[in-house]
């Protein structure tokens, strides 16, 4: 083969997605610097970082359905990166809330987490993402073994669902935007469920 030795058939994919994915943080920093985040810049940055984190959580869940439905394999190459980008934006979102919004008033933050269901669900989402990010490496996968790693990473189904609830309960009245993300998520989760049912059926048929 003429092109042997080439590592990836699509070498531009990961760098391109990563570059595009850093546009939101660049835009937020630039707008903050130029004082263009509006009269309440902290709230604006907080909301936008949270939204981007949710978008990446949902995008990461979209990779497998794209493979099963359309037969595309390229989304699987960027799935880990999408998950880590979700974690990256979630960390920035949490830092904005704890440091900039609450001024590290741990008493108020704890009170928020315990008393407000929307913050409780947001906080839970973040907590669930920590083990996922920590075990995202190949060596962690080897250490855990594929079966246990896969079981742990099923949390990736739960995290965006909690994030959507966090989003819905946060808005005052107009839930159209969070509900739209909820519907996309529901569609992706149904696709996974359909796969699971089909696989099980195939397995059962084989056993018979």
Residues that bind other proteins (CB under 8 A): 2, 10-13, 15-17, 19-21, 23-24, 27, 38-40, 42-43, 48, 51-52, 55, 100-103, 105, 108, 111-112, 115-119, 169-170, 172-174, 176-177
Shortest Cβ 101–other proteins spacing (Å):
7
Least distance to other proteins from the beta carbon of 183, Å? 14
Give the dihedral sign, CA 121/155/158/85: positive
Q: Indicate the residue among 31 and 153 with the shorter CB distance to other proteins.
A: 31
Cα–Cα distance for residue pair 200/57, rounded to 1 Å? 26
Query: Which residue shows structure tokens 């855990």?
Result: 144
CB of 203 to other proteins, least distance (A): 37
Contact assessment for residue 125 and residue 170, using Cβ atoms and an 8 Å cutoff: no
Q: 114: buried, middle or exposed (CB in 10 Å: 19+, 13-18, 0-12)?
A: exposed
- Of the pair 38, 145, the CB lying nearest other proteins is at 38
Nearer to other proteins, 34 or 206 (CB): 34
Rounded distance, CA 156 to CA 125, Å? Answer: 10
Which residue lies nearer to other proteins by CB, 3 or 203?
A: 3
Degrees, nearest 5: CA angle 179-190-129: 70
In the bound complex, what is the minimum distance in angstroms from residue 20's beta carbon to other proteins? 3
Here the tokens at position 130 are: 């920590």
In whole angstroms, the minimum distance from the beta carbon of 14 to other proteins comes to 10
When the beta carbons of 23 and 130 are compared against other proteins, the nearer one is 23
Assigned token pair, 77: 């190459």
DSSP-derived 3-state class of residue 11: coil
| Cβ closest to other proteins, residue 2 vs residue 208 | 2
At 76, list the tokens. 């699987």
State in angstroms the smallest separation of the CB of 169 from other proteins. 6
């Amino acid at each position: 083969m003429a092109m042997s030795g080439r590592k990836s058939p699509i070498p531009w994919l990961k760098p391109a997605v990563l570059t595009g994915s850093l546009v939101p943080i660049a835009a937020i920093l630039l707008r903050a610097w130029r004082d263009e985040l509006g009269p309440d810049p902290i709230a604006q940055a907080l909301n936008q970082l949270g939204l981007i984190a949710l978008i990446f959580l949902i995008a990461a869940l979209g990779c497998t359905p794209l493979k099963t439905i359309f037969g595309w394999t390229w989304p699987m190459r960027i799935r880990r990166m999408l998950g880590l980008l979700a974690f990256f934006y979630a960390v920035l979102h949490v830092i904005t809330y704890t440091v900039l919004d609450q001024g590290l008033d741990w008493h108020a933050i704890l009170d928020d987490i315990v008393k407000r269901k929307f913050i409780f669900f947001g906080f839970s989402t973040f907590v669930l993402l920590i083990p996922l990010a920590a075990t995202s490496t190949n060596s962690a996968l080897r250490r855990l073994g594929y079966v246990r790693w896969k079981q742990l990473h099923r949390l990736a189904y739960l995290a965006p669902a909690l994030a959507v609830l966090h989003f819905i309960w946060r808005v005052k009245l107009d839930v159209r935007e969070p509900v739209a993300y909820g519907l996309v998520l529901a569609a992706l989760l149904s696709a996974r469920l359909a796969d699971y049912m089909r696989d099980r059926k195939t397995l059962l048929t084989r056993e018979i």
